[in-house]
Amino acid sequence: MATTKNIQSVERAFAILESFQQHGGMERSVKEISEALGLNKSTTFGLINTLTNLGYLQQNTGNQKYVLGLKLLSFSNTIKVQNSIIRTVHPYLEQINHKYGETAHCAVEHQESVIYLDKVEATGSISINTQIGTQNYMHCTGVGKCILAYMPTDYQENILSAPLKTMTYNTITNSEQLREEIRKIRESGFAIDNEEVEVGLSCVAVPVFSAPDKVACSISISGMTPRVQIAMKNGLIEDLKHSAASISKSMFGYEYTVSEIK
């Protein structure tokens, strides 16, 4: 299997950040960092200057030394939130997976895409080609459309005004049709990927709310279309909605009845 080489400048930038961690977060000078990493001073200064401009390092103007920047805390907070979601959601994904035998997902919005935070594989031989941590489109996935439907109008328009990638013959690529889809999702409280990503596979997703009309994540069941259709007749949508309501209450203290979300 072929492998790609690491980009040296990226390796060096991360080595600089890690050097602060290795020294307990203490202030460090350009000279101290360059000597510790075996880099020449001008290269080190260029990397430090870039990291500082981006907010990942900050300089003490009194002694010209550097420390880790506050921007790094945003990563920590994001990871904490995501880990909290996974811990809360996972048992519900397992329950739904166990009852219907299909693949269960949990996803969140990230930069106008969705990222899969958690996945419980189907018990059968069919495998859904998704990986935890990977991104997917919002306009054609069940979890993505479910989140998109409850996002602010200006956010929706950013998605709708951009070219919508065609994945299959069922993918909605017309903005007006997608607006109508969003309206239906808000009316019904669930979204369907009707073979819009891969022919033969369907998905049903529901939102998990952190507050009224504010979606924290979405959960779904995916599988072969005929099996998903049977599951829907056997109460899948109601089970997903009840699970989502329980997650909302447990994680965010937001309590609502399933009938409020149709």
Asked whether residue 40 falls in the same domain as residue 104, the answer is: no
Final residue belonging to a domain, choices 17, 44, 69: 69
Q: Give a yes or no: residue 63 inside a domain.
A: yes
Q: Give a yes or no: residue 51 inside a domain.
A: yes
The percent of residues above 70 in pLDDT, for the chain, comes to 95
Measured distance CA(230)–CA(101) in Å, rounded: 12
Quickly tell me which residue has 């939130």 as its tokens.
81
**In the predicted structure, residue 125 carries a pLDDT above the cut 70:** no
Residue 15 token pair: 């080595």
Q: Give a yes or no: residue 169 inside a domain.
A: yes
Asked whether residue 37 falls in the same domain as residue 140, the answer is: no
**In the predicted structure, residue 230 carries a pLDDT above the cut 80:** yes
Contacts with 118 (C-beta within 8 Å, 6 or more apart), sequence order: 85, 86, 89, 90, 93, 105, 106, 132
175: domain CATH number is 3.30.450.40
Q: Around Cβ 79, how many Cβ atoms within 10 Å?
A: 10
Q: For 12-22, how does the pLDDT look when each residue is reduced to its tens digit (9 = 90+)?
A: 999 999 888 78
Q: Give a yes or no: residue 3 inside a domain.
A: no
Final residue belonging to a domain, choices 46, 69, 92: 69
Asked whether residue 44 falls in the same domain as residue 87, the answer is: no
Q: Which of 99, 91, 89 is nearest to 223 (CA)?
A: 99
Give whole-number Cα distances, 147 to 30, 62, 86, 139, 213, in Å: 45, 47, 17, 10, 10
Q: Give a yes or no: residue 185 inside a domain.
A: yes
Asked whether residue 27 falls in the same domain as residue 116, the answer is: no
Phi and psi (nearest 5°) for 211? -165, 170
Say whether 109 sits in a helix, a strand or coil: strand
Asked whether residue 136 falls in the same domain as residue 42, the answer is: no
Say whether 219 sits in a helix, a strand or coil: strand
Residue 22's pLDDT is what?
Answer: 80
The helix/strand count (H/E) of the chain reads as: 9, 8
Asked whether residue 62 falls in the same domain as residue 151, the answer is: no
The structure's pTM equals 0.73
Q: Which of 41-50, 63-72, 111-120 has the highest mean pLDDT?
A: 41-50
Q: Which of 144, 241, 113 is nearest to 189 (CA)?
A: 241
Q: Around Cβ 231, how many Cβ atoms within 10 Å?
A: 22
Asked whether residue 50 falls in the same domain as residue 145, the answer is: no
Final residue belonging to a domain, choices 21, 39, 69: 69
Domain hosting residue 167, numbered range = 74-261
Asked whether residue 114 falls in the same domain as residue 213, the answer is: yes
Residue 262's pLDDT is what?
Answer: 60
Residue 65's pLDDT is what?
Answer: 93
Quickly tell me which residue has 């309590």 as its tokens.
255
59: domain CATH number is 1.10.10.10
Q: How many domains does the chain have?
A: 2
Asked whether residue 65 falls in the same domain as residue 107, the answer is: no
Residue 100's pLDDT is what?
Answer: 95
Position 3 confidence tier, pLDDT thresholds 50, 70, 90:
low
Q: Give a yes or no: residue 35 inside a domain.
A: yes
Asked whether residue 167 falls in the same domain as residue 232, the answer is: yes
Asked whether residue 124 falls in the same domain as residue 212, the answer is: yes
Q: Give a yes or no: residue 1 inside a domain.
A: no
Residue 77's pLDDT is what?
Answer: 64
Asked whether residue 47 falls in the same domain as residue 121, the answer is: no
Q: Around Cβ 76, how many Cβ atoms within 10 Å?
A: 9
Q: Supply the mean pLDDT for the chain.
A: 90
